[in-house]
Structure 1
């Protein structure tokens, strides 16, 4: 009871009421000072960004140099010893390519000296009209037509593993099919030789070959040989496949590439950063001599 009778000396009101009074906070906005120079976000110059990228690449290269690698023949011997009880198992080759922005995924064809698996049949589609369409049908193309095939390809009703086109129709199909076929590595292009007037000649050249293709991250995987193959046959298959990949990625050039460079400018090079050989139950081994 005595506590209830106590009064605040300054305002002469009961202490309990004084305690319950809520002080109103000021809503006046505080003035914000200008940012000092130390708090300003600094955007690195192009020269500084390039220097940082070089330092990062040097660190990655140093770490890669420390990674354990074997020669191709030694890797084959190790995997053969690991799978000595499974002579029918398969060697698998893995190739990592560094795809740059705006560059199509690597894709090519190869005819291995000694096949490790039965070849899968290609389904070939050709954009051609008139006499060239008739020649394509006689040469063995599965689907032949003009711009009427575009909607079927976009909707997924018409599918093929290889698509060719004559120069007369390439401008008509590119606007609608570029974004659909480009990421899949199926868009016809002059650089790959799939835009040509000699459809029959191209189909004759690819007979007996099998197609390889990287995924969107630039990884290429393929069965390359069987464990019971002699070492020389395994090495020959791997070298043959690597030669095809190097040619497509611009790491090696032939006479046709040189003539193309003179006419259409330099061809972009896609770096091959890693090659590994593994087996069905064995480990993946980095190859040093690729």
Structure 2
């Protein structure tokens, strides 16, 4: 008893409690997961370019099979249906839609056309010409709106010169390409020998495009064109559509002449851009697939 009195008050109380009433702390021997492993995100597998391209081809093939061929009409039947829908709106527009299959590295299809009967008033072309000396004078006389040398580059970059057509002489093309290639290239306005916009015959080119209108696909290959008015005779509608389709086929390499040149070895013919869809529509009418384009 004397030994207990020598203890402090807390130890004295602990000594008086029987061992059976003590609460023992339980310890676990299981392994503890690290927080870094518990919250680690699963690894995402990124498909290769080849696998992604194969998936896109399979998806396009399934979409092509899903199209109901019974929904396709001939050009004459499609015009008849849309004229019946728009019978109360003779001044509405007949619109033509063409879908081209764009490939990597292929220029956006664009061209010029002079329809047998214009569906709407043509907007004026703004022509800019890179030329000097005698060729510059000829360009001004031919009707070019902006004529000059490399000093026009900053005006194009800053949007002071908003041209719809840009021409250049071969002597100046190397001077303007480094600064304007990335600016005009995506817009389809960069002068090019293949398109005929790099030429010494500037005046002749301007004369050839006078009275024509330019068409251009968007970045995904879609071409939209108001092709006729509903009050036009059917023959005029068909002529406009056929004329425009011929222009698109020529640019995309879908003509018989282009096919023959591709068969000739070493001809250097450009690859064909496939036309996958042609549709006619109107303001109130449906979009109708054309079967005989």
Is residue 79 from structure 1 mapped to residue 82 from structure 2 by the alignment?
Answer: yes
Query: Where do residues 267-282 of structure 1 align in structure 2 (5 Å cutoff)?
Result: 267-282=270-285
Alpha carbons of 1:220 and 1:198: their partners in 2 closer, same or farther (altered >3 Å)? same
Normalized against structure 2, the TM-score is what?
A: 0.80
Normalized against structure 1, the TM-score is what?
A: 0.81
Alpha carbons of 1:155 and 1:6: their partners in 2 closer, same or farther (altered >3 Å)? farther
* Shift in Å, 1:60: 3.1
Is residue 176 from structure 1 mapped to residue 176 from structure 2 by the alignment?
Answer: no
Bigger drift between 97-106 and 56-65 goes to 56-65
Where do 5+ consecutive residues of structure 2 fail to align? 1-13, 38-42
Residue matched to 1:226: 229
* Shift in Å, 1:248: 1.0
Q: CA RMSD in A?
A: 3.4
Say whether the 8 Å CA contact 1:90–1:223 is kept in structure 2: yes
SS of corresponding position for 1:197: coil
Say whether the 8 Å CA contact 1:247–1:253 is kept in structure 2: no
Residue matched to 1:35: none
- The number of residues matched between the two structures is 269
- 1:265 paired residue among 224, 244, 268: 268
- 1:203 paired residue among 199, 202, 206: 206
* Shift in Å, 1:63: 2.1
* Shift in Å, 1:64: 3.3
Residue matched to 1:95: 98
Say whether the 8 Å CA contact 1:104–1:182 is kept in structure 2: no
SS of corresponding position for 2:67: helix
Is residue 158 from structure 1 mapped to residue 164 from structure 2 by the alignment?
Answer: no
Larger Rg: 2
Say whether the 8 Å CA contact 1:106–1:218 is kept in structure 2: yes
Query: Where do residues 1-290 of structure 1 align in structure 2 (5 Å cutoff)?
Result: 13=22, 15=23, 18-19=24-25, 55-64=58-67, 66=69, 68-252=71-255, 254=257, 265-290=268-293
1:167-219 Cα offsets, whole Å, 9 max, x none, are 11112211211111111111111111111111111111111111111112211
Rounded to whole Å, the distance in 2 between the matches of 1:58 and 1:28 is 48
SS of corresponding position for 1:167: coil
SS of corresponding position for 1:243: helix
